[in-house]
Structure 1
């Protein structure tokens, strides 16, 4: 009886330690050089998981879940703000929703750690674990429309494996993070082999930074990014909306530029219900000043069931028909209702939460300038820039070569949390993968301009109302990742997983 109680206590301590290590891993992502810091923490997690005597699949799965829960509870806690503070959902239900989401994401992590249940081989185990992680992370980006937020890749923008992104994308960065962290956990057993793997992998990754695949094209663009800093709780207050309309319209018309961008849903009314003459006035401003203007608003499309709303970017260019981009990758519950979950949306008290999807083959926005070739910009709205494979595919398949990335976002839903910084890192990774500069226009922050290497060129302060004026250089060309997508790293991972399974059957 005493031995049984001792075993249970030891197991509880083991799971609690993994939970806190997972939370520490999520915290490290927010630190300077967070991508470097995460790697030894992961190594400690693998070492701890390997301390279990005779680990069964069930025990390994529970250990992985403890680690995943700690990681995602801390990393995604800000969803509570959108549910409770903005959406008016009861605090207990909001906490439960965050926990369930963290548990759902933790299921992916715990599934990936099952690779440790295979017979461990000196040279193969870490590679199989890394391959398993890549495969599971890919599934996390596609299952139920995907939610790959808080992967290891975006932290690598401030880590050793960022230079790999233009070649093989964020999933390749994830592979290297997991493999090198595994070798760190094995230093005591195989110091020479593991040290050689760690040092050579980091050195080769750093050498990759000397290659560039895109180059400047045309003269720099003058840009104005408008940040309104309007509270999300006022989004459906008529008087507040009128003030919001007035601010953005005045900010646009106060000064010309080659490109003027407002955030997502800066005009939070359906396009047909906007004040009479508003769009005509802005089009006239565009014609008179040779300014290209991108507006965030609510679009409308007709289908067999009637009229549905879209999350839309409307582009106005001088003496040119209007451009439309409708968001294609929608947010579950916020922008579309999964089957059987209408009750959840009703509890959330959010109107217009079931949008129509835009197509994946929408053309880029042409930025027209007198006497120069048009600059083509790929538009993403809100968390569409989480999906690197989709963006790479859009650029690869575009009928016009893309020179610039534009993201229009409203993160007022998540208050003063780490969500804006997390999405900034995702945007930085997208620039790095594609070799293209990026512009981010947000309601509350982080409004910024990024270079083709993802580094911040200029930004506005969070939760301030203002305009960021700057010059941005467009680029042309395609990185290997844009050309190949995730196929190389997924192919390698599948081969390693097959090899691991074959080796298991031979034992």
Structure 2
């Protein structure tokens, strides 16, 4: 009886597979294509590979009989692979149960995929095929913008940062990363969907690529004073929440000793390098130890407030002055708990779940050289939010001359997270025309020039110090002045025009 039941069950399953094989094949196709897109983006010249993969998606998508589902599956495959490092932070570091950790990654990826799926499915439904490339580019651009602001935003692993090693990076200082998104999406859709000859397609794409690279040659900022010597410290210490008291003291001693022995004008230690509050640290004693040296020390620390709240902060000082920057854009669940999700934090097990948020516009730290150099500080993934960084540059009357990012990616182990954030930091330098220096706990510590090019970097998971010279820059790019408004306006007007013309062709 049991054998007969098993045979019947197996036969039903076989019939199900045969009856739905086309649906299953298409499901696997779009999931696999999304996964390939994520993997190819991590390759050298990843922006070009991304363009190829997105073109392949549009090629298969034009014949889809379930556009919303297939676009969502494509993005699901993309995000699960691009963001799998979140599993490391939840399970390997946070000790969350394996199933709950997998669920969290898939749930986040599922949500992020909705924006792209809705944008391309809506454009395909409402817009005539003749205008579809421009409509798709506009709708994807708007979707990426919304993904970056709704529920505090999570624009990580977007199209824009892929183009830092691709064809369309030249648009970043003019119209921002969203413009890179628009041009890349339009080019891929045009190649896959436009009903024109191969020669005309080739000429059009060649023109777009040439124009984009030509724009990258235009300088919008200028050198400011002389280059300064920097030393960026990479301690490669374990996470503070798993440290013993002895390990915490060893970490603190390491960074403070580096300060006392360094000859660089600017010494930077990463996020949470000093695992104590700024009130506990004897800053006056450290300032005296500097003597009259023209030297500035900047480090991650816990900021303390009168109401007993803590903030994820950066402390900077020379022999006369002290500065503090409190992180503005906090990480959901890691640094603040969204309403109704305390159970999630309890499962995660991180003790510091509620930080005080700093203001978006804060006074920069100032390194006094022949000309005062204004340092704009970013902590951890604040460099993901290009519009916020542009606003900080715009509303600081004198502007920043160097961006300083301090971060701790030990949460994410040996994953692609460090490379992804490095691309984001490069995009921020390109958008603002200002160099960025990055001090990280485990990597990638590096120096990025005003054109978004990495000039030097340290290997990951090594205790090292990166020394080099950084040329400050001054000025404000068109993107800093105008923000995302122009590209959003272009996208909305393009969609409206395509919709009107489509109605006339129906």
TM-score by length of 1: 0.93
Q: Who is 2:320 aligned against? A: 319
1:338 alignment partner in structure 2: 338
Q: What does residue 27 of structure 2 align with?
A: 15
Query: Is structure 2 residue 174 aligned with structure 1 residue 167?
Result: yes
Partner deviation per Cα, 1:342-379 (whole Å, 9 max, x = no partner): 0110111111111110001101111112xx12001111
Shift of 1:122: 5.1
Alpha-carbon distance in structure 1 between the residues aligned to 2:193 and 2:75: 22
| Post-superposition offset of 1:49 | 1.1
Partner of 2:53: 41
The answer for the alignment partner of 1:351 in structure 2 is 351
Where 2:105 maps in the other structure, the secondary structure is: helix
Contact map agreement 2:89 2:412 (CA 8 A) in 1: yes
Q: Does 1:219 align with 2:246?
A: no
Deviations 1:148-178 (Å, cap 9, x if unpaired)?
0000111101101011111111100000111
* Aligned residues of 2:87 and 2:105 also touching (Cα < 8 A): yes
> Does 1:158 pair with 2:170?
no
Q: Is the 8 A contact 1:229 1:463 kept in 2?
A: yes
**Residues of 2 paired with 1:440 and 1:227: CA distance?**
10
Q: Which runs of 5+ in 2 are unaligned?
A: 1-11
In structure 2, C-alpha distance between the alignment counterparts of 1:7 and 1:131, rounded to whole Å: 38
| C-alpha deviation, 1:255, in angstroms | 1.7
The CA distance in 2 between the partners of 1:234 and 1:313, in whole Å, is: 18
CA–CA distance in 2 between the matches of 1:200 and 1:6?
47
Number of matched residues?
493
Which residue does 1:502 correspond to in 2?
Answer: 500
3-state secondary structure, aligned to 1:310: strand
C-alpha distance in structure 1 between counterparts of 2:245 and 2:197, whole Å: 66
Structure 2 distance, partners of 1:379, 1:295, is 10
CA distance in 1: counterparts of 2:421 and 2:110, whole angstroms: 21
1:70 matched to 2:77: yes
Matched, 1:145 2:146: no
RMSD (CA atoms): 1.9
- Determine if contact 2:127/2:135 at 8 Å carries over to the other structure: no
Provide the residue aligned with 1:380 in structure 2: 378
| Corresponding residue SS for 2:314 | strand
CA distance change for structure 1 residues 207 and 7 in 2, over 3 Å: closer, same or farther? farther
Asked if 1:231 is matched to 2:238, the reply is: yes
Name 2:487's counterpart in structure 1: 489
**Residues in 2 aligned to 1:18 and 1:32: alpha-carbon distance in whole angstroms:** 24
2:130–2:194 Cα contact (<8 Å) kept: no
C-alpha distance in structure 2 between counterparts of 1:125 and 1:115, whole Å: 11
For residues 235 and 242 of structure 2, what CA distance do their matches in structure 1 show? 12
Q: Take 2:203 and 2:287, find their aligned partners in 1: how far apart are those partners?
A: 61
**1:467 equivalent in structure 2:** 465
Instruction: Give 2:39's aligned residue.
Output: 27
Shift of 1:286: 3.4
Q: Is 1:258–2:265 an aligned residue pair?
A: yes
Distance 1:234 1:248 in 2: 18
Give the Å deviation of 1:119. Answer: 5.0
Aligned to 2:438, the other structure's residue is in SS state strand
Are 2:118 and 1:111 aligned?
Answer: yes
| 1:459-493 deviation per Cα after TM superposition (whole angstroms, max 9, x unaligned) | 11111111111111111111111111111111100
The CA deviation string for residues 261-319 of structure 1, in whole angstroms up to 9 with x for no partner, is 11011012222344xx3x233222334322111111010224xxx32110101110231
Residue of structure 2 equivalent to 1:298? 302
Q: Is the 8 A contact 1:118 1:500 kept in 2?
A: no
In 2, the alpha carbon distance for the partners of 1:137 and 1:286 equals 47
User: Please, which moves more after superposition, 231-240 or 307-316?
Assistant: 231-240
1:19-65: CA deviations, max 9, x gaps?
A: 1111111111111111011112111101111122xx3xxx2111111
Give the TM-score taking structure 2 as reference length.
0.94
> 2:249 aligns to what?
242
Deviation at 1:217, TM superposition (A): 1.2
Native 8 Å contact 2:55 2:191 kept in 1: yes
Change beyond 3 A, Cα 1:292–1:168:
same
- Offset, 1:109: 1.7
Match of 1:288, SS state, is coil
CA distance in 2, matches of 1:218, 1:482: 21
